[in-house]
A and B are shown apart, each in its own frame.
Chain A
Amino acid sequence: MGSVKVQNLVKKYDKATALKGVDLDIKEGEFYALLGPSGCGKTTTMRCIAGFEKPTSGEILIGDKVVNNVPANRRNCGMVFQSYALFPHYNVFENVAYSLNIRDLYSGSMGQRAKTFARLMSRRLSKPTKEIQRKVHDALEYVELGHLAERGVNELSGGQQQRVALARALVMEPSVLLMDEPLSNLDKKLRNTMRTTIRRIQQDLKITTIFVTHDQEEAMSMADHVAVMRDGEIVQMATPTELYSSPKDPFVADFVGSSNIYEGQVMETNAQGNPIVKITDNIHLVSDTRTDKKDVKVLVRPEGIEILRKGSTVKSENVVEAKVKISTYLGPTIRYDLELEGMDVMVEEEFQPNTTLYAEGDTVSVHLPMERVVLI
């Protein structure tokens, strides 16, 4: 019922091509994030799934049904808009009840339909049915807004509006929940709370969710799967951990976290069959990424680099000397900007209370463990 498949989706506008063949395979109950910079096509993909845009070619399946020709109002996709798109002329209750009222408008006897229509036009004309009342209150309780049902939506804070939008989408029991940058209008603290709330609800209801964002932290912390998009194409689809540890592409590597990226050539393989990469004449690193390529990009995450202190076990390989340029204390971590034969190296080290911080100008030995040296 709730799986979503997108096959070779292409969307062309008069001049530009927004999507150049997007494939997605989202399992039922999965939390899927579309991640990418603005203009990469992530929102267009979502709007095609919701039915607001007509794809130029390609197919969209919800469940096992092709929905290309199903109008947006019959796709049963609940959507949370970036701006929330709450109806300003309705109060919280009426906003959430909207989809239920619309459902009643299309079914039932003429008398009931007339009543429903009257209710949609003004709350004074007709009272909501028992069933609607129950469902709306459940949905509002779920997002912890039960007490605000009679408020006008413009009297709510940003976070509360967001919850109303979520409840409004959930109350229709959608087969897919679509969220378009839902957290981008909230402040940082609220964003963290909402992240947990959304994730909790998603896990509770086991609802297939597609989440569009440009914030890698959001995508990585919430989603089961992340698709990174660029220029109308999907660059990589993977779990957050995979994406972080073995990005397919420097763009992905850079997008999903800060990283040191260098050019290098594979020179030979060592006894274990691991490639040895030359970065400069003096720096050769062993990596455990097997590759056939000769020219490679070498990616080392800042927290993957270890600064060797006196007394620590001496490593045989991947140890180099570097000079401290800047040291920044960030609270839980310390960041060192090092210089290594004219190249910048970023290192992030966990802060331990009893260690001394290195100062500018100090020379340190750093170890780049082979499993953290990723070749792309």
Chain B
Amino acid sequence: MSNENKPKGQNSKLGDWFRTFDSLKIMKWSVYLFFFLFLVLPLFSVFLVSFTGQPVNILGSLVNPDIMATNIERLSNASLEHYQSLLGGGTYFYALRNSLGLAISVSILVILLCLPLAYAFARTTMPFKKTLAALCTIPLIVPTFISAAGFIIMFGRTGWVNTIYQSLGFDGLLINAYSMTSIVLIQVFFFFPFALWPMVAAFKIADMSLEEASNNMGSKNWTTMFFVTFPLAIPGIISAALLIFTVSFSDFGTPIILAPDGLNLIVVEAYREISGFFNWAGASILTIVMVAVAAIFFWLQRYITKNKDYGTLSGKPKGMRLNDSKWVTRSLLVYTCLILLIPMFVLLSVLVQSFATTWGADFLPRGFTIAHYATVFTRSGDNIMNSLLLAGGALLISMIVATLVSYFVVREKTSKLDFMSSIPLIVPGIALGIAYIQTFNTAPLQLTGTAFLLIVAYAIRRMPYMIRSTMGTMMAIKSDIEEAAVNLGASKLVAIITVVGPLMLPGIAAGSILVFVTVIKETSITVLMAPADWAPMSLMVFQNLLRGEVYTASAMAMLIIVLVIILQTLANKITKNSLY
């Protein structure tokens, strides 16, 4: 821009800035503000509180000098003393140790369990592959606290499995539902699909020619498998293990239901600190620890997959020879079915209980009734409605934000937004909840205990999934279509609304359904933040379980599961992408 042509040379910069300040820029700044307010700020204040031990009202400091003074005083007293209980001997130390132990054992067990499974799906002609693959996604559909409840039906003191066990002449319980063992088992059998598909991919990608070379040199098939195939798949396997670690470490549903009194786990500990004792310092320290651990493992996992090119994974690799030995495929089929049997039994137990009159220490309930469903529909209609409204609200927010974020990231290469919007991936639900409760506890933005904050929390937590979905479709829209709209007179914003938006619809729709589904399943944030008059279905199940109203809890749980299955099928129909 040559300044000499302009009469007011010195004003031209400001003038330019104003001229280019269109509605799109306002949108961009709004998105930034949204992430700042509801993601960066809460995490940052939790970080501060972990040192001060008392709430730090950052927003308040900005509008009120008195609050500012108090905060500064609190900050000047900041110390590491609250972190001491993390050291050897402290309660938090044991909580962290137990949680790490849990996550590590679950990861290892899942990998061991998945090795034959992944091999079966990737490298053999195992019969019923498609059906089994579909069944393998079912564990992911069930919210973990429902699986935990199902586990109690099986392995509780009067659980039917333990009943059978005792009737066979054994003493005591086969497995105690309220124990570390059962937590591990639930997580292993309900999280394994997270690891299975990356591992299948890893097995498919391993270079066939190397295997053939090995066979040519006279190795037997099984030697090749152990010394060539598995080692080649190792990066993929490690990455899957790290993923499982993060999922297990942040899982709240299982431990909150099954952890016995003596067993400290970090998520449960954090939940008790905040909702039981309002211990700001403790809750923040645990939050920081959770985020840090999840971040490290998330980063490790990214780091390992980064150098792996899965881009060539289109269809079947050339010359893939599948193992069709009858002995191998049949034993793998039996193995797969056995693995799937456990989550199925858990689900079945919930289903049977939801129709049971009473179900004590017998193999089957005494009688069957649909009374629990009637109760659910008459008494808890509001909860169903709340769930739908909350999920709808979260969907709306994440839809708008995700669409804009994908637009800015793809078209304007705004990598800062890309990074910011992926932060929620490393924040466990319970940690996000604690951060929110602390940050929005006081004026000027007093939102704690409102449905709005709950909706925002849901939206932020599921934002990465929504963005992944919209970003894909956004990349497929060529920029000249949008330029054409602008050329024909539309402002950028109008072009986005009338042209880009409709073209992104499939991605938005698929993402929306996934957000809706996960919000309905969401436990940790719900339990922590849901206001009493906005209690959704998941909270209802949770409270009924704690109160011992197991039959209605099961009926409601079945309702959630059915809803989730329907919506998930719909989402898959829309995206038409299959996992295998």
Q: With A85-B480, A89-B503 known to touch, is A57 a contact of B487 (CB < 8 Å)? A: no
A255 at the interface (CB under 8 A from B): no
Interface-located stretch among A98-106, A205-213, A259-267, A317-325: A98-106
Residue among A66, A69, A87 making CB contact with B484, cutoff 8 Å: A87
Q: What sequence of 0s and 1s flags, for each residue 482-494 of chain B, a beta carbon within 8 Å of any chain A beta carbon?
A: 0111111111101
Give the Cβ gap from B469 to chain A, nearest Cβ, in Å.
Answer: 19
B312 at the interface (CB under 8 A from A): no
CB-CB under 8 A from B385, the residues of chain A are none
The answer to whether B22 and A71 have CB atoms under 8 Å apart is yes
Cα–Cα, bound, A172→B494 (Å): 17
CB-CB under 8 A from A82, the residues of chain B are 480
The answer to whether A77 and B487 have CB atoms under 8 Å apart is yes
CB-CB under 8 A from A121, the residues of chain B are 498, 502
The answer to whether A73 and B491 have CB atoms under 8 Å apart is yes
CB-CB under 8 A from A74, the residues of chain B are 489
Q: Which of A263-303 contact B (CB under 8 A)?
A: none
The answer to whether B486 and A83 have CB atoms under 8 Å apart is no
Cα–Cα, bound, A106→B488 (Å): 13
Cα–Cα, bound, A57→B490 (Å): 26
CB-CB under 8 A from A81, the residues of chain B are 480, 483-484
The answer to whether A99 and B489 have CB atoms under 8 Å apart is yes
The answer to whether A85 and B502 have CB atoms under 8 Å apart is no
A88 at the interface (CB under 8 A from B): yes
The answer to whether A102 and B2 have CB atoms under 8 Å apart is no
Q: With A72-B487, A81-B483, A99-B488 known to touch, is A66 a contact of B502 (CB < 8 Å)? A: no
The answer to whether B483 and A52 have CB atoms under 8 Å apart is yes
CB-CB under 8 A from B488, the residues of chain A are 73, 78, 98-99, 102, 168-169, 172
Q: Which of B1-54 contact A (CB under 8 A)?
A: 1-2, 5, 16, 19, 22
Cα–Cα, bound, A168→B484 (Å): 10
Q: Which of A110-156 contact B (CB under 8 A)?
A: 120-121
A233 at the interface (CB under 8 A from B): no
Q: With A57-B1, A121-B498 known to touch, is A87 a contact of B486 (CB < 8 Å)? A: no
CB-CB under 8 A from B2, the residues of chain A are 57-59
Cα–Cα, bound, A106→B499 (Å): 17
Cα–Cα, bound, A105→B491 (Å): 11
CB-CB under 8 A from A73, the residues of chain B are 486-492, 495
A175 at the interface (CB under 8 A from B): no
The answer to whether B487 and A87 have CB atoms under 8 Å apart is no
The answer to whether B19 and A87 have CB atoms under 8 Å apart is no
**A-B pair number, CB within 8 angstroms:** 81
Give the Cβ gap from A328 to chain B, nearest Cβ, in Å.
Answer: 41
Count how many chain B residues have C-beta atoms less than 8 Å from C-beta atoms of the other chain: 25
Count how many chain A residues have C-beta atoms less than 8 Å from C-beta atoms of the other chain: 36
Give the Cβ gap from A47 to chain B, nearest Cβ, in Å.
Answer: 9
The answer to whether A102 and B22 have CB atoms under 8 Å apart is no
Cα–Cα, bound, A51→B483 (Å): 10
B478 at the interface (CB under 8 A from A): yes
The answer to whether A105 and B494 have CB atoms under 8 Å apart is yes
CB-CB under 8 A from B495, the residues of chain A are 73
- Give B477's nearest chain A residue, CB to CB: A88
B481 at the interface (CB under 8 A from A): yes
CB-CB under 8 A from A58, the residues of chain B are 2
Cα–Cα, bound, A88→B502 (Å): 10
Cα–Cα, bound, A282→B503 (Å): 70
CB-CB under 8 A from B480, the residues of chain A are 81-83, 85
Cα–Cα, bound, A120→B498 (Å): 6
- Give A101's nearest chain B residue, CB to CB: B498
Cα–Cα, bound, A351→B374 (Å): 96
Give the Cβ gap from B487 to chain A, nearest Cβ, in Å.
Answer: 5
A79 at the interface (CB under 8 A from B): yes
Cα–Cα, bound, A194→B225 (Å): 62
Cα–Cα, bound, A157→B495 (Å): 26
Most buried by A among B490, B499, B503: B490
Residue among A85, A86, A102 making CB contact with B490, cutoff 8 Å: A102
Cα–Cα, bound, A86→B494 (Å): 16
The answer to whether B485 and A98 have CB atoms under 8 Å apart is yes
Residue among A50, A57, A68, A83 making CB contact with B478, cutoff 8 Å: A83
Cα–Cα, bound, A223→B492 (Å): 33
CB-CB under 8 A from A78, the residues of chain B are 487-488
CB-CB under 8 A from B491, the residues of chain A are 71, 73
The answer to whether B502 and A68 have CB atoms under 8 Å apart is no
Cα–Cα, bound, A105→B483 (Å): 18
Q: With A71-B491, A168-B488, A172-B489 known to touch, is A88 a contact of B503 (CB < 8 Å)? A: yes
Cα–Cα, bound, A168→B489 (Å): 12
Q: What sequence of 0s and 1s flags, for each residue 169-207 of chain A, a beta carbon within 8 Å of any chain B beta carbon?
A: 100100000000000000000000000000000000000
- Give B502's nearest chain A residue, CB to CB: A89
CB-CB under 8 A from B487, the residues of chain A are 50, 52, 72-73, 77-79, 169
Give the Cβ gap from A293 to chain B, nearest Cβ, in Å.
Answer: 36
Most buried by A among B16, B478, B487, B492: B487
CB-CB under 8 A from B489, the residues of chain A are 73-74, 76, 99, 102-103, 106, 172
- Give A102's nearest chain B residue, CB to CB: B489
Q: What sequence of 0s and 1s flags, for each residue 413-451 of chain B, a beta carbon within 8 Å of any chain A beta carbon?
A: 000000000000000000000000000000000000000
- Give B503's nearest chain A residue, CB to CB: A89
CB-CB under 8 A from B478, the residues of chain A are 83, 85
Give the Cβ gap from A302 to chain B, nearest Cβ, in Å.
Answer: 39
Cα–Cα, bound, A162→B546 (Å): 67
Q: With A73-B487, A168-B488 known to touch, is A102 a contact of B494 (CB < 8 Å)? A: yes
Cα–Cα, bound, A79→B485 (Å): 10
- Give A97's nearest chain B residue, CB to CB: B488
Cα–Cα, bound, A72→B483 (Å): 9
Cα–Cα, bound, A77→B487 (Å): 7
The answer to whether B494 and A72 have CB atoms under 8 Å apart is no
Cα–Cα, bound, A72→B22 (Å): 12
Q: With A73-B490, A102-B490 known to touch, is A68 a contact of B1 (CB < 8 Å)? A: yes
CB-CB under 8 A from A99, the residues of chain B are 488-489
- Give B482's nearest chain A residue, CB to CB: A85
The answer to whether B484 and A85 have CB atoms under 8 Å apart is yes
Q: With A73-B489, A102-B494, A121-B498 known to touch, is A79 a contact of B484 (CB < 8 Å)? A: yes
Give the Cβ gap from A218 to chain B, nearest Cβ, in Å.
Answer: 20
Q: With A83-B478, A87-B481 known to touch, is A72 a contact of B498 (CB < 8 Å)? A: no
CB-CB under 8 A from B485, the residues of chain A are 87, 98, 102
Q: Which of A229-258 contact B (CB under 8 A)?
A: none
Give the Cβ gap from A351 to chain B, nearest Cβ, in Å.
Answer: 45
Give the Cβ gap from A344 to chain B, nearest Cβ, in Å.
Answer: 43
Cα–Cα, bound, A98→B499 (Å): 10
Cα–Cα, bound, A52→B492 (Å): 11
- Give A87's nearest chain B residue, CB to CB: B499
Give the Cβ gap from B543 to chain A, nearest Cβ, in Å.
Answer: 43
- Give B487's nearest chain A residue, CB to CB: A79
CB-CB under 8 A from A87, the residues of chain B are 481, 484-485, 499
- Give A74's nearest chain B residue, CB to CB: B489
Q: What sequence of 0s and 1s flags, for each residue 39-81 of chain A, a beta carbon within 8 Å of any chain B beta carbon?
A: 0000000000011100001110000001011011110111101
Q: With A73-B490, A121-B498, A172-B488 known to touch, is A85 a contact of B503 (CB < 8 Å)? A: no
Most buried by B among A69, A77, A168: A69
CB-CB under 8 A from B483, the residues of chain A are 50, 52, 72, 79, 81, 85
Interface residues in chain B, defined as those with a beta carbon under 8 Å from any beta carbon in chain A: 1-2, 5, 16, 19, 22, 478, 480-481, 483-492, 494-495, 498-499, 502-503
Interface residues in chain A, defined as those with a beta carbon under 8 Å from any beta carbon in chain B: 50-52, 57-59, 66, 68-69, 71-74, 76-79, 81-83, 85-89, 98-99, 102-103, 105-106, 120-121, 168-169, 172
Given A73-B489, A81-B484, 7 other A-B contacts at CB below 8 A? A50-B487, A58-B2, A59-B5, A72-B487, A85-B484, A87-B499, A89-B499
- What are 12 A-B residue pairs whose CB atoms fall within 8 Å in the complex? A52-B487, A66-B5, A79-B483, A85-B478, A85-B483, A85-B484, A98-B488, A102-B485, A102-B494, A106-B489, A121-B498, A172-B488
- Shortest Cβ-Cβ A-B pairs, 6 listed: A99-B488, A85-B484, A85-B480, A102-B489, A79-B487, A120-B498
